Structure 1
Amino acid sequence: MHEDDGLLAIADDHGPYPVRDGNRVVPWIDGLPFFERLAAAVAAARTRLWVIVSFIQPDFRLPDGLAWWDLLDRCHARGLDVRVLFWRNPRFSSTRHVFLGGPAERQLLAARRAGWAARWDSSAEPAHCHHQKAFLVDAGQPDALAFVGGMILSDSTLARPGHHHGLHKHDAFLELQGPVVADAEHNFVQRWNLARQDPDAPPWPDDLRAGPLAYPGRLPPACGDVRVQLARTLAPDGYRGPTPIVGAPDFASDAGEATILAHYLAAIAAARRTIYIENQHPGQHAVLLALDAALRRGVRVVMVVPGEPMAAIGRAAAEVAALARDGRTHEHRYGPTFAQLNALAQRPGFTLAALARSDADGHREIYTHAKLCIVDGAWATLGSANLVDLSLDRDHTELNAAWWGRAHCLPLLLQLVAEHTDLAATDDLEALGRFAAHARASRDSLARGGPILAGCYALDPATYGLGPPLTAGA
């Protein structure tokens, strides 16, 4: 059997986008190299710059100091068709980094005499987030590029690989070129044309300039040898009616989509050797059940999460722990999730870990914001989707890209493990074995009051989110 044969069946036929052959794929790890690459691609653009924005720091600047708004203005002044699709939800839990399109934002655009086009895709529910992040350069051209991932437009993202000093957010993005770019263009056009418009945030500068777009009518030519499939999460009734897909049947998204979840479950079920995950969340229940089944088959699993998780995870963990004292874990929405995470700790092949560094400034936690998974070193997914029900179960709007082939996935795994452990490996089993051993040794060092060993340490799944992680000197 070919080394990748067991993973070829992961391709999902429940979403709109087929598997596309003949692509070029470049993963970008951490924000500084990614935004330097994006700036170079935009500087070389000839026709179009289309962007999907979820969260944005209002004064965000690229690594060379150029303000985000100046970048858009300069591209428009060069004659590019510049369009930005923003998320709008004034009722979200925090809108500090949401460009809502209301009076204050429109005043900013008017003061700049912004000539580029914008639409706001509004959320119907208070908790809903249009969470996709994507950039399209020269859409519709043979050499068009698509960038898909999880990084937000924030200074905190501009970290260097390894996180030896400076900023401490770990993240990832994926560069795509070839036939699959037509599907990234379709996703943009569908959301742009069918965006749920709020009367308080009409299109900018007007309906004509921000008018509808034509769907892609042809595939870019092959330019590589990578097989890629885009996958999404969409809530039901968000984008109604059939839309044309190049080389595939028309697709209606009325029922919503959960193709990212389908990819995860199929990939984990197909795993024979290793599963490596980096995510901001410690797992969605169905995914954790699938991981448990894989561990029972002898698959080694490493999951990298923030040592100090976001506040919502901490609150949920505390609530579940309080209910557990009375045997009422099942009453909480995330009770089964935390119970299953705890159960994975009983599997010797499972390692839950966080990233951190010990240096002249002391102990520094590194916040894992990446959303990626690599199975057997031969299949990978990367995008905007967190491992939580909101991102995977037809709720938030998400976009991931999956790709196949040991020649294209294993180097990313080895790169990540080397960044986090300072150890080299030659295959996926060796890489995860060394990661697990190193993370446990680093945890033991911390428990003795010593430093982090390289860039990671093991966590206890049973207490995840219930308090601060181990720190040097504790």
Structure 2
Amino acid sequence: MHEDDGLLAIADAHGPYPVRHGNRAIPWIDGVPFYERLSAAIAAARSRLWAIVSFIEPGFRMPDGVAWWDLLDRSRARGLDVRVLFWRNPRFSSTRHVFLGGPAEREFLAARGAAWAARWDSSAEPAHCHHQKAFVLDAGEPDALAFIGGMVLSNATLARPGHRRGPHKHDAFLELQGPVVADAEHNFVQRWNLARRDPDAPPWPDDSRAGPLPWPARLPPERGDVAVQLARSLAPGYYRGPTPVVGAGEFDSDAGEATVLAHYLAAIAAARRTIYIENQHPGQHAVLRALDAALRRGVRVVMVVPAEPMPAIYRAAAEVAALARDGRADEHRYGPTFNRLAALADHPGFTLAALARSDADGHREIYTHAKLCIVDGAWATLGSANLVDLSLERDHTELNAAWWGRAHCLPLLLQLVAEHTDVVVDDDLDALDRFAAHARASRDSLLRGGPLLAGCYALDPATYALRPPLTQGR
């Protein structure tokens, strides 16, 4: 049996998109390399620039200093069909970096004479988020490109690999070319055409200019040898009605979709050697349960998360800990999740780790915002979906791309391990073993009052989000 055969079963039949063969797939790690590449690709685009935006810092600029809004205006001025699908939820917990499409935003667009088109896809529930991040260039053309990932349009993302200077946020995107781009086009067209409208944020500049789009009718030609499949999370009731998927018939998304979760569970179940995860969240319950089973089979697992997580994780951990003192942790929505995470510490093959760096300016945490997983160095997924129920269980709107093949996935694993440990290896088992040993040695050094070793250190799964980082105050 070929080393990748067990992982080919990951392809899930419940989502709309089949595995597409003959693609080119290039991961971009950290913000400066990615946004430099995106800027170059937009400059070379000849017909269309379509973007899906969840969060945007109003003053975001590309690495060359060009403001995002100027990039859109310039692209439209040279004849591109520029369309941006924004998320709208005025009731969300924080809208500081959400371009809501209300009176203030429309005045901003009118003042700059924005001639490109926009729609706002509105959330029905206060906690719901249209969380996808994607770009499609020259849709419908043979050389169309798609970019899928988790990076937001924020100056904080403009980090360089290694994080030795500049912003301290670690993230990733995936560039795609070939037949799978038709599915990225379909995702955009489906959400654009069926966007939930809020009367307070009508299409810009009007219904005619921001009118509906035709469904993709053909696949771009093959551009490489990578098998890729798109996977999504969608809440029920958001995108109703049959939509045609090229070569795969019609599909109705009314029931919602959870193919990102299906991918994770199938890939972890198929793992024989290694599982490497980077995510902003420390795990969703079913995923953690699957990791426990993999560890019992002898699979090595490394999970990289922020040592200083988002406030909601701190709050949930504290609430669970308070209930646990009375034996009531399971009453909390995330009680079973934190318990599952803590139990993974019993497996010697599991390492929970955070990224950090030390230099003449002192110690600093690196915030892991990437959402990726690599299994056996032969299958990978990368996109917008966090390892949390909201992102995986038919709630938030998410988009990931999975790809196959040791020749295409192992280099990404080795690149990430080298960035985080300054250690160069050529095998997935060696990579995870060296990462785990390095992270533990770095943690032990910090506990003794010594220095951080290279770019990572191990965390205690049982106390995650309950204690300050070991580097705090150094």
Contact 2:158-2:166 within 8 A present in 1 as well: no
Q: 2: CA distance between counterparts of 1:196 and 1:166?
A: 38
Distance 1:472 1:250 in 2: 53
Counterpart of 1:281 in 2: which secondary structure?
A: coil
Instruction: Tell me which amino acid in the other structure corresponds to 1:85.
Output: L
How many angstroms apart in 2 are the aligned matches of 1:468 and 1:187?
A: 40
d(CA) in 1 for partners of 2:180, 2:472: 46
Write the mapping of 1:380-391 to structure 2, written as runs, cut at 5 A: 380-391=380-391
Name 1:200's counterpart in structure 2. 200
Q: Contact 1:452–1:472 at 8 Å: present in 2 too? A: no
Structure-2 separation of matches of 1:57 and 1:249: 39
Conservation of the 8 A alpha-carbon contact between 1:451 and 1:472: no
Structure 2 residue identity aligned to 1:294: A
Trace 1:253-264 onto structure 2 (pairs within 5 A). Answer: 253-264=253-264
Partner Cα distance (1:399, 1:363) in 2: 34
- Cα distance in structure 2, aligned partners of 1:467 and 1:241: 48
Per-residue CA deviation, residues 89-108 of structure 1 (Å, 9 max, x unaligned), is: 00000000000000000000
Q: Are 1:414 and 2:414 an aligned pair?
A: yes
Task: Find runs of 4+ consecutive structure 1 residues off by over 4 angstroms.
Answer: none
Secondary structure in structure 1 of the residue aligned to 2:346: coil
SS in 2 for 1:345: helix
Secondary structure class of the residue paired with 1:187:
helix
Task: Report Cα offsets for 1:63-95 as digits up to 9, x if no partner.
Answer: 000010000000000000000000000000000
Partner of residue 228, structure 2: 228
Q: Find the aligned partners of 1:220 and 1:71 in 2 and give their Cα distance.
A: 26
- 2:309 corresponds in structure 1 to 309
Segments of 5+ residues of structure 2 without an aligned counterpart are none
Q: Which runs of 5+ in 1 are unaligned?
A: none
Matched residues in 2 for 1:165 and 1:249: separation? 49
Q: For residue 301 of structure 1, give the secondary structure of its aligned residue in structure 2.
A: strand
Contact 1:450–1:473, Cα closer than 8 Å, also in 2: no
Partner SS, residue 381 of structure 2: strand
Please give the per-residue CA displacement for 1:346-372, whole angstroms capped at 9, x wherever unaligned: 011000000000111111000000000
In structure 2, C-alpha distance between the alignment counterparts of 1:188 and 1:471, rounded to whole Å? 42
The CA distance in 1 between the partners of 2:239 and 2:192, in whole Å, is 10
Secondary structure of residue in 1 paired with 2:26: strand
Residue 278 of structure 1 is matched in structure 2 by 278
Q: How does 1:98-247 map to 2 (within 5 A)?
A: 98-247=98-247
Percent identity, aligned pairs only, is 85
SS in 2 for 1:232: strand
2:330 aligns to what? 330
8 Å Cα contact 2:119/2:202 also seen in 1 = yes
* CA-CA distance at 1:444 after TM superposition: 0.4
The answer to whether the Cα contact below 8 Å between 1:448 and 1:473 also exists between their aligned partners in 2 is no
The change in CA–CA distance for 1:472 and 1:152 in structure 2 (over 3 A counts) is closer
Whether the 8 Å CA contact 2:133–2:152 is kept in 1: the answer is: yes
TM-score norm. by structure 1 comes to 0.99
Residue by residue over 1:391-420, the C-alpha shift from the partner in whole angstroms, topping out at 9 and shown as x without a partner, is: 000000000000000000000000000000
Alpha-carbon distance in structure 1 between the residues aligned to 2:300 and 2:466: 26
Matched, 1:71 2:71: yes
How far off is 1:163 after superposition? 0.2
Determine the C-alpha separation between the residues in 1 that align with 2:228 and 2:40: 24
Distance 1:158 1:427 in 2: 30
Aligned residue in 2 for 1:14: 14
What secondary structure sits across from 1:262 in the alignment?
helix
- Aligned equivalents of 1:148 and 1:203: distance in 2? 24
Aligned to 1:42: 42
**Aligned equivalents of 1:216 and 1:404: distance in 2?**
24
SS at match of 2:179: coil
CA contact (8 A) 1:317 1:466 kept: yes
The offset of 1:169, in angstroms, is 0.1
Taking a change above 3 Å as real, the CA distance of residues 472 and 187 of structure 1, as seen in their structure-2 partners, is: closer
Q: For the Cα contact (< 8 Å) 2:277–2:372, is it kept in 1?
A: yes
Q: CA deviation at 1:467?
A: 2.3
Give, in angstroms, the shift of residue 239 of structure 1.
Answer: 0.2
Q: Which residue of 1 aligns with 2:378?
A: 378
Q: Deviations over 1:99-148 (max 9, x none)?
A: 00000000000001100000000000000000000001101100000000
RMSD: 0.7
Equivalent position amino acid for 1:162 in 2: G
TM-score, length of structure 2 as denominator length? 0.99
